[in-house]
Amino acid sequence: MSKETAEQLREELEKVFNDADYPIEEPMELIPVLPDGAGTTFEAGDVSVGVMEFGSEYADYQDYPYETAEALIDDLMTGFHEEGLFD
């Protein structure tokens, strides 16, 4: 895993999710802040992850509601690491 790639992906997530209106009770509330809605893909280095994967592959790492973007992003990043996205 490239630490730089992980940091870049975190920055991409922050750019988008910092604009959400917290608290967020469920994932569908994030759709309005996504640049391409449900078709949004976050990319960093050779890593690409679509928001649809958040619910299918990384749902077990999310614990709604979220009070802050940081808490949501921390959980997503944990899931990405645990599931080998950066391997």
- What superfamily in CATH does domain 3-82 come from? MTH865-like (1.10.238.80)
pLDDT of residue 2: 78
Q: pLDDT digits over 32-44, tens only? A: 999 999 999 999 9
Task: Please spell the DSSP secondary structure of 8-65, one letter per residue.
Answer: HHHHHHHHHHTTS-SSB-SGGGGGGGSTTGGG-EEEETTEEEEHHHHHHTSGGG--S-
Q: pLDDT digits over 20-34, tens only? A: 999 999 999 999 999
Are the beta carbons of 58 and 85 closer than 8 angstroms? no
Q: pLDDT digits over 61-79, tens only? A: 999 999 999 999 999 999 9
Which residues does 55 contact at the CB level (< 8 Å), separation at least 6?
A: 27
pLDDT of residue 74: 98
Q: Where are the domains of the chain?
A: 3-82
* Residue-averaged pLDDT of the chain: 94
